[in-house]
C-alpha cells in the first residue's frame, strides 16, 4: 500500500467574503495518489489565525467545517492540515472576511435627570470579539451630534458618563462600533436611540434696571436679579460687573443692588444663579450719560523761581455752576488747599508737586488731570575739588574731580572744563564727578566747573583748581669717590642721583648684608645728594646701593657698587719694619746660643741658621 500527497487545498463556500449572519463552509481537500485501491483514514485539522477551531476524521479526501451563522469575529486566515499514516501536509491559508458587524445595544441608567446630574451609558456589541472601538453620540435639540471615542482591548462593551449641562432639554444618545480588518476599518450600524429628559432645578435669571433707559450721572440706578427655583435651599445669586462681585444672596430667589450712577458705571453687568453644579447667567449692558465733563486745571506757569506768583484755575467746558476745590497730591493723601475754582499763591521750593482740582454737581465728583508745578531755588557757587583730597596727581594716573553745589533745586547740570575746553556735562541732584584719564606733564592747573538749573539766575562758576602733576622718579644711579678701593681711615663720598622726578626726593643708602642695612637717608630739593662717610674701616668693605622716591610713592633702586677698604702706604711700611726687626732679633739670639754651646763643646753636628 503506497500513497503520496499531491497537495492539500482549502476553499470557502459560498465565497471568501460572507455577509454577517449568513452560513459559511470551510472545505479542506486532500489530493492523494495510491498504487492500489485501498481505504485510507484522513485526520483533518482546521486553523483560524493559527488557532485550532475544528477537527475531523474521514476515509474521504474532503472535510467540511460548517459555520451556520457567520459573525464578524469569524473573519481571519484559515488553513487546514491533513495527516494520513505517518505523512502530514498543510494547505496554504485563505483569508475570509465576514462583512458587517452586529448592531450595538445602548442602555442608559436614567430616563429623566436634572441639570448638573450624570447620565451613565452602556454600549454593547454582542457576539463581537475585542479589540473594538466604541463611539458615543450626544445630540441636543436642533444641534449636531457630539461624538466621543473609547477603545476597548479586552471587552465587547464600553461605558460613558455624560454631565447634564444647564440649558439641556431633551437629550438623544446613540452609539456604534468599529473593528480593524485587513482592508481598513469596518463600522457597525448605529444602535437604538435613547432619549433622556432634563429637568430644570431653577430657571435662567432675569436682570432688569430701574430706570431702564436714559440713565444720567447723578441718577439712582437700581438692579434687580431674580429666578424661579424648585427648591430654594442651596441656591445662590451673585451680581457682578466685569470680575468684581457687587452683591450676593443665599437661599433667596431675588437680589437687589442700587448705586449713584457715574460714567464709570457704564458697562456689562452679570447676574449668576448657582445651585450645586448648575450655573446660569444673564448679562445686561448699561450706558450712563455724562452729566458734565471732567474739569481742567490750568496754571499760569509750570516752572518758576521761588517767591514768584502762581495762579491755578479750575474750569468745566460749558458749565460754570459747580462746587470746585483745588488740591495737592501727596503720598499720604490729597491735601485740600482751597474750596474755590481759583488759587493764587507765592511759591517756595516746598510747593513743588502735582496739583488737581475737583468739581461736584448733584453728588457727582470728577477730578482733573494732575498738573506738575516745579519751583526752583538758585544754585550756589559750586566748589571743585579732587576726590582723593590732595590737589596732586601722579603722571599717568587718572584724576577724579567732584563739583558740588550746596544749594539749588535739582536737577542741576554740571559742566567740567579743562582750560577753556568743555570735557563733560552731567545732570544730577547736588554733585557730579569727572575722571580725567589724560594727564600730561604740563597739566598743572586750569580746571573749573559750572552749575545751573532751571532758575532764571543762570550759571554759577567755581574757582579755578590748580592741580600739581607729580613726575615719578626714574633712573637712579650710585657712584663713589674714590671708586672701587679705599684706604683705611680715609673718607668716601657716595653720590646718588636720578634722571627725573618731581622734588623733593627722598634718598636712602644701603649696604648689602644678610639683610638690608639703612646707612643714611636725606630729603633733597635736587636730583642728587652726597653722603660723606668718614674714616673707612676694613669692615666697611662690601656692596652698596641707593634708593630714591618722591610723592608718587614709586621706589627706584640703583645698580650696586663694590667698595674694598685697603691699608694705607705708611701702614704697609710700619708692618715691613716690624717684620725686619723681628727677624734680626731672632738671628742675634741664635748666634749667642751657638757660641755658648761651642765653648762647652756641645755643638750639634747639623745646625743651620737662616
The pLDDT tens digits for 392-447 are 888 888 889 999 999 999 999 999 998 888 889 999 888 999 988 878 777 665 89
Q: Residue 581 above 80 pLDDT? A: no
In angstroms, what CA-CA distances link 321 with 168, 254, 311, 318, 326? 57, 41, 20, 10, 16
| Cβ-based neighbours of 494, under 8 Å, separated by 6 or more | 478, 479, 480, 509, 520, 530, 531, 532, 533, 544, 546
Nearby residues of 111 by Cβ (< 8 Å), 6 or more positions away: 195, 196, 197
Average pLDDT over residues 589-594: 60
CB 447 within 8 A of CB 467: yes
The answer, yes or no, to whether residue 570 has pLDDT greater than 60, is no
Interval 79-101 mean pLDDT: 91
Enter the C-alpha cell of residue 564: 674694598
Percentage with pLDDT > 90 across the chain? 57
At residue 276 the predicted structure's pLDDT band, cuts being 50, 70 and 90, is: confident
CA distance 358 to 360: 7
- Cell digits of residue 505: 626726593
> Is residue 473's pLDDT more than 50?
yes
Q: Are strands 421-428 and 412-418 parallel, antiparallel or unpaired?
A: antiparallel
Are residues 376 and 455 in contact, defined by beta-carbon separation less than 8 angstroms? yes
Q: Please report which confidence band the pLDDT of residue 161 belongs to, taking 50, 70 and 90 as the band edges.
A: very high
Check: CB of residue 117 under 8 Å from CB of residue 126: no
Strand 288-289 with 215-216, pairing: parallel
pLDDT at 530: 94
| Whole-number Å distance between alpha carbons of 403 and 532 | 50
Contact criterion met (CB below 8 Å) for 91 and 29: no
Question: How much is the average pLDDT of 302-310?
Answer: 94
Q: Report the alpha-carbon distance of residue 39 to residue 28 in Å, rounded.
A: 18
Task: Average the pLDDT over 328-349 and give the result.
Answer: 93
- Confidence class of residue 574 from pLDDT cuts 50, 70 and 90? low
- Has residue 591 got a pLDDT over 80? no
Segment 272-297 shows an average pLDDT of 91
**pLDDT at residue 585, as a whole number:** 59
| pLDDT range class, residue 230, cuts 50, 70, 90 | confident
Per-residue confidence (pLDDT) for residue 316, from 0 to 100: 92
- Whether 486 contacts 505, CB under 8 Å: no
Q: Are 272 and 207 in contact (CB under 8 A)?
A: no
pLDDT score, position 607: 37
For residue 341, what pLDDT is reported?
93
Mean per-residue pLDDT over the chain, rounded: 88
Residue 553: Cβ within 10 Å count: 10
By residue count, the chain amounts to: 610
Q: Taking the model in full, what pTM does it have?
A: 0.48
The pLDDT assigned to 609 comes to 32
The pLDDT-based confidence of 305 (bands split at 50, 70, 90) is: very high
Using 50, 70 and 90 to split pLDDT, how confident is the model at 390? Answer: confident
Q: Which residues contact 204 (CB under 8 A, 6 or more apart)?
A: 166, 167, 227, 273, 280, 281, 282
Model pLDDT, residue 583: 55
The predicted structure's pLDDT at residue 120? 96
Cα dihedral: 298, 301, 304, 308 (round 10): -90
CA–CA dist 121, 109 (Å, integer): 7
pLDDT in tens, 250-272: 999 999 999 999 888 999 999 99
Q: Which of 33-42, 189-198, 259-268, 281-290 has the weakest average pLDDT?
A: 33-42
Residue 532 has pLDDT above 60, yes or no: yes
Q: Classify residue 165 by burial, with Cβ atoms within 10 Å: 0-12, 13-18, 19+.
A: middle
pLDDT at 336 over 80: yes
Is 204:169 a contact under the CB 8 Å cutoff? Answer: no
Give the residue with greater pLDDT, 286 vs 392: 286
Mean pLDDT, residues 318-334 = 89
Cβ-in-10-Å burial (0-12, 13-18, 19+) of 11 comes to middle
Residue indicated by cell numbers 427648591: 231
Residue 320 has pLDDT above 80, yes or no: no
C-alpha 416/C-alpha 397 separation (Å) is 19
**For the purposes of burial, counting CB atoms within 10 Å of the CB of 194, is it exposed (0-12), middle (13-18) or buried (19 or more)?**
middle
Structural domains in the chain? 3-99 (2.60.40.10), 105-199 (2.60.40.10), 206-286 (2.60.40.10), 296-375 (2.60.40.10), 383-469 (2.60.40.10), 477-566 (2.60.40.10)
Report the candidate in 459, 444, 443, 364 with the shortest Cα–Cα distance to residue 408: 459
User: What average pLDDT does this structure show over 323-341?
Assistant: 93
Distance CA 195, CA 110 (A): 10
Percent of the chain past pLDDT 70, that is, above it, reads: 92
Which of 160, 169, 195 lies closest to 114 in space, CA to CA? 169
Enumerate residues 6+ apart whose C-beta is below 8 A from 142: none
Average pLDDT over residues 369-389: 93
Pairing of strands 353-361, 371-376: antiparallel
Residue with cell 481742567: 296
Q: How far apart are CA 209 and CA 288, in angstroms?
A: 12
DSSP 219: S
Q: Does the pLDDT of residue 459 top 50, yes or no?
A: yes
Q: Tell me, what's the pLDDT at 606?
A: 42
Which grid cell is 7?
497537495
CA distance 278 to 203: 11
The confidence score (pLDDT) of residue 610 equals 34
* Strand ranges for 182-305 from DSSP E: 184-187, 194-199, 206-210, 215-216, 220-226, 236-241, 244-250, 254-260, 267-275, 278-286, 288-289, 296-299, 303-305
Amino acid at each position: 500500500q503506497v500513497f503520496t500527497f499531491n497537495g492539500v487545498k482549502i476553499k470557502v463556500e459560498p465565497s471568501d467574503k460572507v455577509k454577517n449572519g449568513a452560513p459559511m463552509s470551510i472545505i479542506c481537500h486532500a489530493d492523494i495518489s495510491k498504487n492500489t485501491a485501498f481505504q485510507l483514514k484522513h485526520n483533518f485539522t482546521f486553523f483560524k489565525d493559527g488557532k485550532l477551531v475544528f477537527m475531523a476524521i474521514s476515509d474521504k479526501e474532503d472535510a467540511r467545517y460548517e459555520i451556520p451563522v457567520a459573525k464578524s469575529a469569524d473573519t481571519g486566515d484559515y488553513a487546514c492540515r491533513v495527516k494520513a499514516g505517518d505523512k502530514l501536509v498543510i494547505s496554504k491559508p485563505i483569508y475570509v472576511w465576514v462583512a458587517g458587524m452586529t448592531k450595538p445595544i445602548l442602555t442608559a441608567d436614567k430616563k429623566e435627570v436634572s441639570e448638573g446630574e450624570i447620565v451613565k451609558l452602556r454600549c454593547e456589541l454582542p457576539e463581537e470579539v475585542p479589540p473594538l472601538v466604541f463611539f458615543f453620540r450626544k445630540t441636543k435639540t436642533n444641534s449636531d451630534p457630539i461624538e466621543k471615542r473609547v477603545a476597548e482591548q479586552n471587552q465587547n462593551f464600553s461605558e460613558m458618563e455624560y454631565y447634564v449641562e444647564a440649558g439641556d432639554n431633551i437629550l438623544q444618545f446613540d452609539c456604534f462600533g468599529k473593528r480593524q480588518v485587513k482592508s481598513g476599518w469596518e463600522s457597525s450600524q448605529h444602535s437604538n436611540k435613547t432619549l433622556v429628559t432634563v429637568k430644570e432645578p431653577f430657571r435662567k435669571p432675569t436682570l432688569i434696571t430701574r430706570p431702564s433707559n436714559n440713565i444720567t450721572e447723578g441718577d439712582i440706578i437700581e438692579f434687580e436679579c431674580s429666578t424661579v427655583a424648585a427648591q430654594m435651599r442651596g441656591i445662590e445669586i451673585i451680581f457682578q460687573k466685569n470680575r468684581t462681585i457687587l452683591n450676593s444672596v443665599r437661599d433667596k430667589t431675588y437680589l437687589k443692588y442700587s448705586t449713584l450712577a457715574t460714567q464709570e458705571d457704564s458697562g456689562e453687568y452679570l447676574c449668576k444663579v448657582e445651585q450645586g453644579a448648575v450655573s446660569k447667567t444673564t448679562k445686561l449692558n448699561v450706558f450712563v450719560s455724562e452729566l458734565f465733563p471732567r474739569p481742567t486745571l490750568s496754571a499760569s506757569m509750570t516752572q518758576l523761581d521761588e517767591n514768584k506768583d502762581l495762579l491755578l484755575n479750575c474750569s468745566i467746558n460749558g458749565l460754570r455752576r459747580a462746587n470746585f476745590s483745588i488740591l495737592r497730591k501727596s503720598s499720604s493723601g490729597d491735601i485740600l488747599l482751597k474750596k474755590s475754582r481759583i488759587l493764587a499763591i507765592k511759591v517756595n521750593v516746598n510747593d513743588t508737586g502735582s496739583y488737581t482740582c475737583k468739581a461736584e454737581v448733584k453728588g457727582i465728583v470728577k477730578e482733573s488731570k494732575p498738573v506738575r508745578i516745579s519751583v526752583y531755588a538758585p544754585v550756589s557757587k559750586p566748589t571743585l575739588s579732587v576726590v582723593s583730597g590732595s590737589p596732586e596727581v601722579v603722571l599717568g594716573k587718572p584724576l577724579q574731580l567732584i563739583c558740588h553745589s550746596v544749594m539749588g533745586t535739582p536737577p542741576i547740570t554740571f559742566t567740567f572744563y579743562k582750560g577753556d575746553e568743555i570735557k563733560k556735562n552731567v545732570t544730577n541732584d547736588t554733585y557730579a564727578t569727572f575722571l580725567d584719564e589724560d594727564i600730561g606733564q604740563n597739566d598743572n592747573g586750569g580746571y573749573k566747573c559750572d552749575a545751573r538749573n532751571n532758575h532764571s539766575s543762570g550759571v554759577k562758576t567755581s574757582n579755578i583748581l590748580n592741580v600739581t602733576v607729580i613726575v615719578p622718579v626714574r633712573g637712579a644711579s650710585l657712584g663713589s669717590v674714590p671708586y672701587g678701593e679705599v684706604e683705611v681711615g680715609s673718607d668716601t663720598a657716595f653720590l646718588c642721583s636720578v634722571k627725573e622726578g618731581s622734588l623733593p626726593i627722598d634718598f636712602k643708602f644701603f649696604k648689602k648684608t644678610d639683610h638690608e642695612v639703612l646707612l643714611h637717608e636725606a630729603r633733597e630739593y635736587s636730583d642728587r645728594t652726597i653722603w660723606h662717610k668718614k674714616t673707612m674701616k676694613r669692615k666697611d668693605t662690601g656692596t652698596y646701593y641707593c634708593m630714591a622716591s618722591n610723592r608718587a610713592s614709586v621706589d627706584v633702586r640703583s645698580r650696586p657698587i663694590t667698595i674694598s677698604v685697603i691699608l694705607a702706604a705708611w701702614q704697609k711700611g710700619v708692618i715691613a719694619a716690624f717684620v725686619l726687626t723681628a727677624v734680626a732679633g731672632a738671628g742675634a739670639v741664635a748666634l749667642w746660643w751657638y757660641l755658648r754651646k761651642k765653648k762647652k763643646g756641645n755643638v750639634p753636628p747639623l745646625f743651620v741658621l737662616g
